[in-house]
């Protein structure tokens, strides 16, 4: 599983969700040989992968398993010092957004919102993008525009092309006309 983080990240970026799922399914064979933190991360990845290919029940089962495996205090895990990935709530958001369940995504987003500094940091930008997505899925275009505007502005301040393009992709995904007209109306108000 040494290179799977890179493999799955590339798969997500390139929208190769079947390959992403294959990598995580292969990784399951090592689940009992790694720490609870890494094992929990494996199952959050599986949850995200299953949700990307529309396998709702497997996605939710994997998410539940991840929550059971994640240590209460990840910093106590021997592998914590060299890991960098979000905790289960972040993956829960991805799963529910992929499954088009924005109300469930909002529950996790509200928890995450309380744990991230209000300053402009990469995690805050990612949160704004997810909030925009949940807002759009809920039909609240004005709220989504506010989150997208914050995300784009913050991404530019941070110099984060990744987050900037994620916001742009979301903007494009939901139809430039609807979001663009709402953004324009907000700017004129």
What's the pLDDT at 1? Answer: 38
- Dihedral sign computed on CA atoms, order 177, 14, 137, 108: negative
Q: Which of 13-17, 87-91, 118-122 has the highest mean pLDDT?
A: 118-122
Is the Cβ–Cβ distance between 182 and 141 less than 8 Å? yes
The superfamily CATH assigns to domain 1-85 is: Tetratricopeptide repeat domain (1.25.40.10)
What's the pLDDT at 181? Answer: 60
What's the pLDDT at 84? Answer: 67
φ, ψ of residue 22 to 5 degrees: the values are -60, -40
**pLDDT-derived band at 142, boundaries 50, 70, 90:** confident
**Where do the structural domains in the chain lie, given as residue ranges?**
1-85, 116-189
Judged against a pLDDT cut of 70, whether residue 135 lies above it is answered with yes
Distance CA 46, CA 27 (A): 9
- Dihedral sign computed on CA atoms, order 65, 67, 70, 72: negative
Q: What is the mean pLDDT of residues 83-112?
A: 90
Q: What is the mean pLDDT of residues 137-144?
A: 91
CA distances from 118 to 85, 107, 108, 111, 185 (A): 19, 19, 17, 14, 26
**pLDDT-derived band at 77, boundaries 50, 70, 90:** confident
Q: What is the mean pLDDT of residues 96-103?
A: 96
Q: What percent of the chain has pLDDT over 90?
A: 47
């Amino acid at each position: 599983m040494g290179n799977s983080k890179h493999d799955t990240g590339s798969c997500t970026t390139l929208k190769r969700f079947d390959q992403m799922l294959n990598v995580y399914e292969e990784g399951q064979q090592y689940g009992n040989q790694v720490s609870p933190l890494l094992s929990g991360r494996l199952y959050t990845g599986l949850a995200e992968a299953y949700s990307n290919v529309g396998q709702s029940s497997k996605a939710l089962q994997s998410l539940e398993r991840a929550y059971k495996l994640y240590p209460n205090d990840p910093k106590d895990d021997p592998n914590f010092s060299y890991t960098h990935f979000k905790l289960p709530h972040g993956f829960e958001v991805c799963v529910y957004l992929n499954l088009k369940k924005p109300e469930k995504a909002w529950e996790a987003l509200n928890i995450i919102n309380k744990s991230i500094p209000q300053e402009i940091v990469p995690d805050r930008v990612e949160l704004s993008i997810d909030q925009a997505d949940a807002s759009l899925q809920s039909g609240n275009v004005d709220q989504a525009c506010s989150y997208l505007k914050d995300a784009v502005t913050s991404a530019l301040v941070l110099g984060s092309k990744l987050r900037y393009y994620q916001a742009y992709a979301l903007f494009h995904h939901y139809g430039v006309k609807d979001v663009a007209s709402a953004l324009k109306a907000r700017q004129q108000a």
